[in-house]
Amino acid sequence: MKNYSKINDGWFSEICPMWPGISLSLEIEAILYSKKSPYQQIDLYQTRNHGKMLVLDGIIQLTESDEFAYQEMLAHVPLFAHPHPETVLVIGGGDGGVLREVGRHDGVKIIDFCEIDEAVIDVSKEFLPDMACGFDDPRVRVHIGDGNAYIHGHKNKYDVIIVDSSDPIGPGEILFEQPFYEGLKSALKHNGVIATQGESFFMHKECVANLVKITKELFVVQGYSSILVPTYPGGHIGICLGSLGPEVKKPCRSLSESFQQQLKYYTPQIHEASFVLPYFAKTLFDSI
């Protein structure tokens, strides 16, 4: 994918045609890693004020200062919506942060993890140990390969599937299309729940509307949960959820105090509140 982002005078500016005319800049102190893998350009920066920052093909994937918001919500919203999640699949998210969050659920017995780019895992293990700790969990089984191919080879296997994709340009594009969602549905067990990186209704209305349309058509229950993430465009990103039974907008299990103490963003209250949509987004989604 063409990389439009720039470094100028010690500032990294994230520029992308998916969010034209707007750019977030972070002051950087050092380039810790920069290499092209067979799939993408991988850069790891030390920022001045936001910890380390992972950038793929010029697009910010995470900073250490706010990664918890996205990783906690993407994992805990679907997991707390399911009554007894035991088998979980995570597609993408080679940094391991979503795995770290899934691993907090003691009831989960198997965590299959499918990532196309092994180099992202390697760089995260080296530079982002607080995220890549997810790989140390003995329940995690790593599969290096294409998530779309993986999903179509596994039927009726998972209680929860989480897709931590990059944006729908480059290797992540196929993960935003109907056949992939059909594969996700067929890989679910009875009462299964999916949660996918759902982009922002401020920045990419058509893309989000398409995800809502696909999930409304395929699943019994559908929802869109919003997350505040200062270092994503517009400070906002969503999760698109689909379920074969359970309600997704409320947690169906309680969270112990010791579990809550491990988290920084997710609470049962924010789980519910994240599904409340601004009027323009509600109107758009209701019309689909």
**Chain contacts with ligand SPM (rule: CB under 6 A):** 59, 61-62, 71, 93, 95, 97-98, 164, 166-167, 197, 199-200, 203-204, 232-233, 237
- Contact between 288 and 209 (Cβ < 8 Å): yes
Phi, psi dihedrals of residue 21, rounded to the nearest 5°: 75, 10
By DSSP bridging, strand 24-36 and strand 11-14 are antiparallel
The minimum distance between CB 257 and ligand SPM, in angstroms, equals 27
Q: How far apart are CA 43 and CA 63, in angstroms?
A: 12
The minimum distance between CB 234 and ligand SPM, in angstroms, equals 7
Q: How far apart are CA 160 and CA 110, in angstroms?
A: 11
Hey, what are 280's tokens?
């323009």
Q: Considering beta carbons, is residue 95 or 117 the nearer one to ligand SPM? A: 95
Give me the long-range contacts of 252-260 (CB less than 8 A, separation at least 24): 252/80, 252/81, 252/82, 252/83, 253/80, 253/83, 255/80, 259/104
Q: Considering beta carbons, is residue 147 or 233 the nearer one to ligand SPM? A: 233
The minimum distance between CB 1 and ligand SPM, in angstroms, equals 12
Q: Considering beta carbons, is residue 188 or 208 the nearer one to ligand SPM? A: 208
The minimum distance between CB 146 and ligand SPM, in angstroms, equals 17
Q: Considering beta carbons, is residue 197 or 225 the nearer one to ligand SPM? A: 197
Residue by residue, DSSP assigns 62-105 as EETTTHHHHHHHHHHHHHHHSSS--EEEEES-TT-HHHHHHTT-
The minimum distance between CB 247 and ligand SPM, in angstroms, equals 25
The minimum distance between CB 256 and ligand SPM, in angstroms, equals 25
Hey, what are 78's tokens?
């679907």
CA 52 remoteness from chain centre: 18
CA angle at residue 102 from 37 to 113, to 5 degrees? 35
Q: Considering beta carbons, is residue 163 or 246 the nearer one to ligand SPM? A: 163
Active site residue 164: yes
Residue 269: closest CA among 287, 254, 259? 254
* Catalytic-labelled residue, pool 66, 95, 117, 164: 164
Residue 96, strand partner residues: none
Q: Considering beta carbons, is residue 180 or 246 the nearer one to ligand SPM? A: 180
CA dihedral angle for residue 99, residue 5, residue 122, residue 37, rounded to 10 degrees: 120
Residue 170 DSSP one-character state = G
Three-state SS at 57:
coil
Active-site residues, by number, are 164
